[in-house]
Amino acid sequence: MGLIIGIAGISRSGKSRLARKICLSFKDKSISIIEQDKFVVPIKDIPKYKEETDWESPLSLNFTAFKETIIKESKHHDIVIAEGLMAFYKPEICNLFDKRIFIEISYDTFIERKERDLRWGNIPKHYFDHIWESYLKYGKIPRTEAEYLTIDGERSIDIDHVLNYIYR
């Protein structure tokens, strides 16, 4: 089984960017990146927040498929990186990770970056606060004995610091 790395943090914190940087550092290894956003349940099954689809709810994700994919990919790759807002939400998934990396950014940085993110169209301002509240509720580091590397996503990520954590 390969090394399994979990990366969590709020939207626009740098999870995907960090996953790509890690990949570039292991050119001689086979790597699979698993994005939690790809495990959304059918839209009809996702609850609503006001009149919006509540993508920030744990009910919006198929955690079983996410977990099964992590396990399957770890049998075929040297390194598996699983990333997402709620990557650490379910203990049975969090326990799969050999290394856990959490990226933090401030509310102001989140708002600034999210306003520039037009991938999903024009998001109502009230939904930004809902995303932040959901992050505080579902996306933070769980209380556990497990070790986590916390990174300041406000700054450029020091990949050497991350690799030192992964190698130990």
Strand intervals (E) in the chain: 3-9, 31-35, 48-49, 52-53, 79-83, 99-104, 149-152
Q: How far is CA 86 from CA 129, 155, 156, 167, in A?
A: 17, 22, 23, 24
Quick one: which H or E segment has residue 16? helix 15-25
Per residue in 24-63, pLDDT (tens digit) is: 999 899 999 999 999 999 999 999 998 888 889 999 999 9
* First-to-final CA distance of the chain: 18
- The CATH number of the structural domain formed by 3-167 is 3.40.50.300
pTM for the model: 0.92
Calpha distance 164→154 (Å, rounded): 20
Calpha distance 145→153 (Å, rounded): 23
Out of 16-25, 49-58, 65-74, 114-123, which region has the weakest mean confidence (pLDDT)? 114-123
Calpha distance 102→149 (Å, rounded): 6
Identity of the amino acid at 46: I
> What does the angle CA 19 – CA 123 – CA 117 come to, to the nearest 5 degrees?
35
Per residue in 80-106, pLDDT (tens digit) is: 999 999 999 999 999 999 999 999 999
Q: Does residue 120 carry a pLDDT above 70? A: no
Domain ranges of the chain: 3-167
Are 149 and 101 contacting, i.e. CB atoms less than 8 angstroms apart? yes
